[in-house]
Amino acid sequence: MDQEIGRCQQELKSKGYKFTKQRRIIIEILLSSQRHLMTASHIYEEVKKRKHPINFSTVYRNLETLLECGLIRKALLQDGIASYELNIHHHHHHLICLQCHDAEMIHFCPYEEINKHIRKNTHFHPVEHKIEIYGYCEQCHKKITKDLSQK
């Protein structure tokens, strides 16, 4: 964890930003989280659990700064809520549960086929992509199926 924090500190400084206590706490939370993607509210709840005097707007502003610096990535959940992850993982995409909002990484990427199709059939030149697939995790699917069968 210390190595990643050091890398984040260097990256912020190289872009003219200070490595504040608040930014360190947010990075530590993202590094130690069991959740792959965390909303600003989840991060704020973790900040409160750790008894740090940081308000929600400070968490949100710092997330925007970390995003601007490229240290984190943002994924929009289907309901429009932004979730964040550290930008340290290798290339991957997400399976996102519509019920509990948990996210799972998938390492399969169909981008090459999509890119060939786009270049052949359009005048568009893609430079970046992300794929988010929405559905229900195993636990939520079981609960939904059980609830429906009881009706």
What is the per-residue pLDDT for 90?
66
* Lowest pLDDT segment from 26-30, 105-109, 137-141: 105-109
State the chain's mean pLDDT as an integer. 87
pLDDT of 44 over the 90 cut: yes
Question: Terminus-to-terminus CA distance in the chain, angstroms?
Answer: 48
Q: Give the span between the Cα atoms of 87 and 69, in whole angstroms.
A: 10
Amino acid symbol at 102? D
- By residue count, the chain amounts to 151
Residue 104 labeled ligand binder: no
Q: Which domain holds residue 49?
A: 1-89
Last residue of a domain, one of 70, 89, 108: 89
Does the pLDDT value for residue 150 go beyond 90? Answer: no
Longest dimension (CA), the chain: 59
Could you tell me if 5 and 26 lie in one domain?
yes
Residues 3 and 74 in one domain: yes
Residues 52 and 126 in one domain: no
> Do 75 and 85 contact (CB within 8 A), yes or no?
yes
Residue 12 shares a structural domain with residue 82: yes
> 36 labelled as ligand-binding?
no
Task: Judge whether 141 is annotated as a binding position.
Answer: no
pLDDT for 79 equals 77
**pLDDT tens-digit profile of 66-118?**
999 888 888 887 778 898 988 876 667 778 888 988 878 787 778 888 888 99
CATH number assigned to the domain comprising residue 11: 1.10.10.10
Identify the H or E element spanning 134: strand 132-135
pLDDT of the residue at 96:
85
Reported as type and span, the H/E element at residue 95 is strand 93-97
The answer on whether 69 is annotated among ligand-binding residues is no
Q: Which of 55, 89, 123 is the last residue of a domain?
A: 89
3-state secondary structure of 72: strand
Q: Look at 31-40, 102-111, 116-125, 138-147 and tell me which has the smallest mean pLDDT.
A: 102-111
Q: Is 112 annotated for ligand binding? A: yes
Helices 2-14 & 21-32, crossing angle to 10 degrees? Answer: 140
Residues 67 and 31 in one domain: yes
1-5, 58-62, 95-99, 121-125: the lowest-pLDDT one: 1-5
Name the residue with higher pLDDT: 136 or 91: 136
50 secondary structure, DSSP code = T
Find, among 88, 126, 121, the residue nearest to 105 by Cα.
88
Judgement on whether residues 55 and 109 belong to the same structural domain of the protein: no
Looking at 39, 58, 89, the residue that finishes a domain is 89
Q: According to the model, what pLDDT value does residue 89 have? A: 60
Q: How far apart are CA 95 and CA 26, in angstroms?
A: 24
